[in-house]
Amino acid sequence: MDQGGHASRAVIMDGSGTVLSRAERSLGTSRPKDGYVEHDPEELVLTVSQCLMEVIEKNEVETRSLLCAGMATQRSSIVCWDSRTGEALSPVISWQDTRSRDRIVELVSRSEWVHDKTGLFLSAHYGASKFQWCLENIPGVRKAKSSGRLCMGPMSSFIVWRLTVERRFAADPVSASRTLLWNIFKRNWDQDLLELFEIPEEALPACVPTVHTYGKIKIGNTYLPLTLVTGDQSAALFAHGRLRSDTAYVNMGTGAFVSRSTGEKPLFQKRLLTSIVHEQENVSQNVLEGTINGAGSALAWIRDALALKDLEDRLPAWLKEVKDPPLFLNGISGLGAPYWDPDFESGFVGKGQPSEMVVAVLESIVFLIHTNLLEMQHSLSPPGNIQVTGGLSNLDGLCQLLADLTGISVYRPAQTEATVRGTCYLMAGQPAQWPEVEPGVWFEPESNQPVASRYEKWVEEMEKRVGGGE
């Protein structure tokens, strides 16, 4: 199962990673106010359940041959619900939501302290301030708390609770870590952070490993053990096998995420995230991570701003044709790594036609990826290659731009929907052999001085706006 911001999916794979059946249902998104991004929790559970039913009905393999189920979800989305009835008491508040940013601003002096405990930076994108907002603003949440019936947790915990026969109340480490309440060293809720955000520990799920006995899911007449829960971006890293220290992983969807493996020990760096991506049998795997909030969301923004209904169809040609776009300073959905400026005002430097403005937005995504890769080189050697996945990686021109700017070979697997494949790899026990069904495409660096020059100017403009990035 892959529960993302736009859709829920279910896929059946065999032990070699071959897709046997798939199903998908779209998921609505509501933006009732500026900074608010929500999903209907009942619709979310329904779409997951519908996909599970459909994927089994489509499957030509006997149901009894199915071994287990696993799930990857949006990491930082949260929800509150009633422990007795299972009724959602809040909307699913998306990772993109920044309604609680004022509370984060109040705590800015604690930023380094929080980073040292969690590997993350203070941000309204994460769960803690959203939980706090729910307690302060939703009467049903307050009432459930006073009566001892409140459950609050990552969205994945809500789905597990609703889908499993046993109603398990558990949080996987990847999702728990995105709440700002989870200590990356203790791998459990942190009492100091709970006090800081005034969150009752008894309302939170038990912290468990990625691979765990989460319970059984009933699908028709079939009961499948749910053995793995993780985050979508974390699962995507494992789509093509074990993590390699010489590879930079870039997954480009609604946001773009740049990751480098650091092994079992968390590695801290001032302007980057330290993220756990898997835990099994008391062994964890960690990465240095740079988050770019404005990837697919930035394209959606320019599409709506320019009323370009057929934008996706035009992108390949525009990437080839446009030679001198303006610069776009990209803080869509909040400016992430390595600048960390939630109030950054996005805008163009220079003017252009719609095609040039769109290419400027695409270039800004590549510029932010390159900036994060350079930042990682303060602690890690330069990568030998870059592996790209996610919807935007299907743009050849974007992949070539990334290769040209970084001077590093870029590999795009044939199967770019990485989350499901990575989830199945982890469920299969990380086998030594996890072959690709067909080979992907390599983009080799070419000399591209105009892009290099625009990047230098872009860096100058960005650092003027964010005070040197500090």
Same structural domain, 309 and 226:
no
Distance of alpha carbon 293 from alpha carbon 296, whole angstroms:
9
| pLDDT of 105 above 70 | yes
* Domain contains 324: yes
| pLDDT of 433 above 90 | no
Domain of 398, in residue numbers: 241-412+440-470
Residue 430 burial by CB count (10 A; 0-12/13-18/19+): exposed, middle or buried?
A: middle
Domain count, the chain: 2
Cβ atoms of residues 104 and 123 within 8 Å? yes
Nearest Cα to Cα of residue 3 among 66, 59, 69, 61: 69
* Domain contains 420: no
Task: Tell me, yes or no, if the pTM score tops 0.85.
Answer: yes
Cβ atoms of residues 152 and 131 within 8 Å? yes
pLDDT tens-digit series, residues 239-288: 989 999 999 999 998 899 999 999 998 999 999 999 999 999 989 999 99
Distance of alpha carbon 24 from alpha carbon 9, whole angstroms:
4
* Domain contains 419: no
In whole numbers, what is the pLDDT of the chain averaged over residues? Answer: 94
Greatest distance between any 2 Cα atoms in the chain: 66
User: Could you tell me the CATH number of the domain that includes residue 61?
Assistant: 3.30.420.40
The domain boundary, picked from 232, 262, 288, lies at 232
The pLDDT confidence band at residue 468, using thresholds 50, 70 and 90, is: very low
Structure-model confidence comparison of residues 342 and 126, the more confident one: 126
Distance of alpha carbon 388 from alpha carbon 397, whole angstroms:
13
Same structural domain, 269 and 326:
yes
Percent of the chain surpassing pLDDT 70:
99
| pLDDT of 215 above 90 | yes
pLDDT tens-digit series, residues 39-78: 999 999 999 999 999 998 887 777 778 999 999 999 999 9
Q: Name the least confident of 73-82, 217-226, 242-251, 428-437.
A: 428-437
Same structural domain, 269 and 123:
no
| pLDDT of 469 above 50 | no
The domain boundary, picked from 179, 200, 232, lies at 232
CA dist 136 → 35, 85, 90, 132, 287 (Å): 17, 22, 12, 6, 34
Same structural domain, 164 and 295:
no
| pLDDT of 135 above 60 | yes
Q: What is the pLDDT of residue 467?
A: 59
* Domain contains 379: yes
The residues pairing with 23 across neighbouring beta strands, listed in sequence order, are: 10
| pLDDT of 302 above 90 | yes
Same structural domain, 268 and 227:
no
Same structural domain, 248 and 204:
no
Name the residue with tokens 């480098």: 260
